[in-house]
Structure 1
Amino acid sequence: MTSLLLLTVGFANCEVFTALAELENLLDTEAVLISTLENYIRAEEQKTDLLKRYVDIYQKQHNKATDDVQTYVSNPINAYTLVKRLTTDWKQVETLMDTDIRADYVANISLDTSSLARGEINGVKYSSELSAADCFELGRQSYNNGDYYHTKLWMREADARLNREANETIDRSDILEYLAFSTYKQGNLPLALDLTNKLLEILPTHPRALGNKVYYEEEMEKTLVKKGRRRIRRNRPRGGKYRTPAMADPYGKEHYEMLCRGEIELPIEMKSKLRCRYINNNNPFLKIAPFKVEEAYLKPDLLIFHDVMSDSEIETVKRLATPRFRRATVQNSQTGELEIAQYRISKSAWLKEEEHKHIDDISQRVTDMTGLTVETAEELQVVNYGIGGHYEPHFDFARRDEKNAFKSLGTGNRIATVLFYVALLCSPAIGVALWPKKGTAAFWYNLHASGDGDKLTRHAACPVLAGVKWVSNKWIHERGTGVQEALYIRTATGGSDSVMNREGITISLYKTVFFTLILRCDLHIE
């Protein structure tokens, strides 16, 4: 009895000793985990410190900019560094924020599927190995949790162990089904299809495998078609198959760029014929304060109206337009639809007369300046050009083959253009460049008296190299009550009282008597 008791106690002590020895090994593992965790915390603190330094740099620049926004962004160096901070530099911040520091440390404390399957933890073997069925079950649980990455790992381990099992604990077809689908969910279609084909070699009538095979093949076909299209686009000349040498530079782009650089000036014999004058268009209101008008070009007439928009009106226009700004569009000549084009880089907004008294006053002033009704004119368009913003040479009018242009407006073609606070504007066709001056407006007719477009009115907005450029346009259309033309002394009608436009509609022309005084032609110089 005593010997039996001693044996029992001795056996118990032996079991306790063995268990404690294993626990000592676990303490070694715990020490590694603690050290890894401490290193991870230090790495995260270093990452946070670096992000704090980025915040300080950004905040200092932001505070400097907000002290005087206009002055700051008007400086091209500041504008460049602002764009750089919010693109290239910010990408570095995002990369740092996305950097998963823990990955390297988790790799040291995570247990891979092969180690677990062998019963090893941190290189120490603690239990018997898992069977193929055990690995399959772990993979199935990962699949149920939507963890397709670990599903693949466990199914591959199950397949490898199945090859070594004398008595198979799971069917290979079950492993292949889960492995194929988790591979597909990981984005590898070719391998998913290959695994599905292997499953069908084992079970040719497997219903899910047959359905998946068809689906995978269709998806791969779609991918190949998309890649083929992208390859064609990459190999196609810039601008697509419709691009021709004539279209590459349709409006004298080289001439336009030379004008923008100030390399072309009007000949002295042409300058000598230009005048400045006061006009009132027979408007009683303007008899006391007539418009100051400068001729910038003759035939076609290009006029500059000075001091026709006050500072308060300009600020109202900017304030109302800013929250509505969208990427500026152009009208497709074939469909009439608005679309974005790379030859126009700016943002625009549209303002109605009823929105503010200043907008209504500006529209009335257009009538006073031009003698044309604005009842059917387009809303006031406000355009903002940042650094690099521009609008390459174009016409404001619709040509005869552009049947759908302005069709939705139902007011005919654009007779004339009024461009307020003239930005750097050039007309390559006639070789004129108008330099910016706040509060001025340019005016020209887009159409001949016959209704045909005047191709000499081709014009462009030069690229902004420094500062910010604001302009606003008022486009006046053919149709409307009491449409009349202010003939500014030189007219293409030869004195005719009426003309027929391109759509066969007769337009009356009322000659306006001007109160004219000759001024010094240096109004644009300050």
Structure 2
Amino acid sequence: MKLLAAFGIFLFGLQVLASNAEFFSSTSGLEQLLRTEVMLMIELQKYVNEIRQHADILQGEIDAIKSEHLSAANSVEGYLNNPVNAFRLIKRLHSDWETFESTVEREPSRTNFLGAMASHRENLSFPTQEDFVGTALAMTRLQQTYQLDVGELASGILNGIKYGAAMSWQDCFVLGQHLFSMRDFNNTVPWLQQSMQLLVKQSYSKESEALDFMETVMGYHESMGDYDNALHLINHVLAVQPEERLHLLETRAHLEQLISDGVKRGLMHEVARSPDDYHISREYRLYQQVCREELRPAPAALRELRCRLFAGNGRKSTYAPYKLEELHLDPYIIQVHDVISARDTAELQHLARPELQRSQVYSRTGHEHISANFRTSQGTTFEYTDHPIMQKMSHHVAEISGLDMRSAEPLQIANYGIGGHYEPHMDSFPDSYDYSLNMYKTNRLATGIYYLSNVEAGGGTAFPFLPLLVTPERGSLLFWYNLHPSGDADYRTKHAACPVLQGSKWIANVWIRLSNQDHVRPCELQRDHEISLPYKDYK
């Protein structure tokens, strides 16, 4: 049945399922998918109880899924925050359940089951092709950013810590197949290789159908120019069935000759990245190194930093002194601890959940908002007057910074999804930005990020040029200025949200515009932006 499921996945893996939701860009909606799978499991159990043919095989599949749900029952949030678990959940609902249906279609008593399934597809939440592709990209993003071993990642091990169930050989194959369809051949190879390593360990791996499947995967490797893995699979198949697989002898000899001659051809070698591809730039490599904590501020710079109690910026405060930690002096970046309570952060998440939509970015013209692959999260906005907690958040930023919050944009609350990230970007707008259709008319002077959750692994805020990594701490506020006192952009403040490796990341963004700040932070008469200009077009 497991092999049959794989062939079903092979056929149905690229089909699109009807759904109006988007699940990969936020962990908030994944609970709907878990509930969907509970309903589907109940329907399949009814069918198994009525028809004992297939019962043992199908029950095995159900038991495997039940095991997943028992793991999830201990902590649904913890289970869904694991990228491997989330990928397996989406993969099962996107592909496996259609395979189960196809095996039932041949049964005379299938009517009740298929009718119930059709009804559920109308009324329950299902992931789309975009969700499935999004999770595949997230897995490779985590692998590349944190330099994770594919074998460990497939085993549910993230940065040396075992978080959840291992991926099956079918899971690894489907992931590799989708990466192949997206022409990401360098990442296809290790996942197909891992899939075959896991298949060889199965009790049915020497059956003809399994060997046929290995031949199919061998074809993938050969077409990509990965001759070593293709030859390894051929040798394995011939070792098991030497007489039945004589047609592979010629292919083996051909591959051996290609390897001996050092031939480099195939899809991996033909599809090269453009020199302008941002993901091979020095800046992007810096960002990844900071996320991995391979780059840190110099020890001498750290010795100049202070932690202190701060009573506020020249105003009579109604709050206890703030626990202010300096993270960087020029540009000035601080993290203020315990600004809002855990109860308040939970309430903010509760208020935001029903309103979450895919996060967007400003278009190049600044006249519209668009979704982008370099930012995977869901968010929503609130006016500060919408809730007392939000009013307190505004007051805190005003007291800590001294800035006039009348020119602040609405509060944005965001939840990052599976491997959720936001690649390096500036919060301030470029010189070419058109403010004519923008209600705020001026640039973003400062940014504040309230962390509304802790994150178990990954998910830090990275400043590649400093180089600085800020760990999310629930209830704290991260604050910095995006502009020099002259009003010019400080390119050193380009920052990013590192991919979430384990956990759920919730933040609230505060953006304060330049207007009305002249009495609080007057512009300097002389421009002082030269120090950051080398980072403007850093490649």
TM-score tier, shorter chain, comes to 0.5 to 0.7
* Residues 259-338 of structure 1 mapped to structure 2, 5 A cutoff: 259-279=290-310, 280-285=312-317, 289-338=320-369
Q: Which amino acid aligns with 2:511?
A: W
SS of 1:344's partner is coil
Q: How does 1:388-403 map to 2 (within 5 A)?
A: 388-403=419-434
Residue 46 of structure 1 aligns to a residue in which SS?
coil
Matched AA of 1:418? G
Measured at CA, do residues 470 and 389 of structure 1 come closer, stay the same or move farther in structure 2, by a change above 3 Å?
same
1:83-102 Cα offsets, whole Å, 9 max, x none, are: 333334334235446x4557
SS of aligned partner of 1:70: helix
What displacement does 1:335 show?
Answer: 4.7
The Cα shift of 1:425 comes to 0.5
Query: What residue is the counterpart of 1:381 in the other structure?
Result: 412
- Identical residues among aligned pairs (%): 32
Shift of 1:44: 7.0
Q: Which runs of 5+ in 1 are unaligned?
A: 1-41, 103-235, 502-526
Paired residues for 1:184-195 under 5 Å: none
Q: Cα–Cα, structure 1 residues 311 and 486, in superposed 2: closer, same or farther, change >3 Å?
A: farther
Is 1:84 aligned with 2:91?
yes
Q: Which residue of 1 aligns with 2:511?
A: 475
1:339 and 2:366 aligned: no
Match in the other structure for 2:483 = 447
Q: Would the aligned equivalents of 1:251 and 1:393 in 2 still touch at CA under 8 Å?
A: no
1:373–1:483 CA contact under 8 A, matched in 2: no
Contact 2:407 2:440 in 1 (8 A): no
Asked if 1:413 corresponds to 2:450, the answer is no
Q: Which residue of 2 aligns with 1:136?
A: none
Task: Tell me how far apart the structure 2 counterparts of residues 478 and 245 of structure 1 sit (CA, whole Å).
Answer: 33
Give SS of 2:334's match.
strand
Shift in Å at residue 77 of structure 1? 4.3
Mapped contact 1:372–1:484 kept (Cα < 8 A):
no
- Alpha-carbon deviation of 1:372? 1.1
What amino acid is the match of 2:317?
F
Contact between 1:346 and 1:386, CA under 8 Å: does it hold in 2? yes
Q: Is the CA contact (8 Å cut-off) linking 1:276 and 1:295 kept in structure 2?
A: yes
Shift of the 361–485 alpha-carbon distance from structure 1 to 2, 3 Å rule, reads same
Contact 1:451–1:500, Cα closer than 8 Å, also in 2: no
CA contact (8 A) 1:373 1:484 kept: no
Alignment partner, residue 390 of structure 2: 359
> Which letter does structure 2 place at the counterpart of 1:73?
L
Tell me which residue corresponds to 1:510.
Answer: none
Letter in 2 for 1:348: G
Query: 1:506-525 maps to which residues of 2 (within 5 A)?
Result: none
CA distance 1:100–1:375, shift in 2 (3 Å): farther
Residue identity matched to 1:81: R
Q: CA deviation at 1:254?
A: 0.3
Distance 1:329 1:78 in 2: 26
Give the Cα separation in 2 of the matches to 1:369 and 1:258: 31
**Which amino acid is 1:372 matched to?**
L
- Return 5+ residue gaps in structure 2 as ranges: 1-48, 109-269, 453-458, 530-539
Q: TM-score, normalization: structure 1?
A: 0.53
Aligned-partner residue type, residue 284 of structure 2: K
Residue 93, structure 1, aligned to residue 100, structure 2: yes
Shift of 1:237: 8.2
The aligned counterpart of 1:73 is 80
Could you tell me how far 1:435 is from its partner in structure 2? 1.5
Query: Partners in 2 of 1:417 and 1:320 — Cα distance?
Result: 22
DSSP 3-state at the match of 2:309? strand
Aligned to 1:424: 460
Change (3 A) 1:46 1:476: same
RMSD over aligned CA atoms reads 3.5
How do 1:179-258 residues align onto structure 2 when only pairs under 5 Å count? 245=276, 247=278, 249=280, 252-258=283-289
| Residues 300-325 of structure 1 deviation map (CA, whole Å, 9 limit, x = unaligned) | 11111111121111011100111111
Alignment partner for residue 459 of structure 1, among 479, 495, 515?
495
Residues in 2 aligned to 1:93 and 1:252: alpha-carbon distance in whole angstroms: 46
Contact 1:416 1:444 in 2 (8 A): yes
CA distance in structure 1 between the partners assigned to 2:107 and 2:470 by the alignment: 58
Any idea what the Cα deviations from partners look like across 1:10-58, whole Å, max 9, x if unmatched?
xxxxxxxxxxxxxxxxxxxxxxxxxxxxxxxx99763688667655654
The question of whether the paired residues in 1 share the 8 Å contact of 2:337 and 2:477 is answered with yes
Separation of aligned partners in 1, 2:475 and 2:387: 18
Distance 1:238 1:87, change over 3 A: farther
The number of equivalent residue pairs is: 315
Distance 2:390 2:380 in 1: 13
User: Residue 389 of structure 1: SS of its match in structure 2?
Assistant: coil
Larger Rg: 1
Contact 1:381 1:473 in 2 (8 A): yes
SS in 2 for 1:323: helix
Aligned in 2, Cα 1:409/1:290: closer, same or farther, shift over 3 Å?
A: same
**2:469 paired residue number:** 433
Closer, same or farther in 2 for the Cα pair 1:399/1:59, shift >3 Å? same
Secondary structure of 1:314's partner? helix
Distance 1:485 1:457, change over 3 A: farther
Residue aligned with 2:80, SS: helix
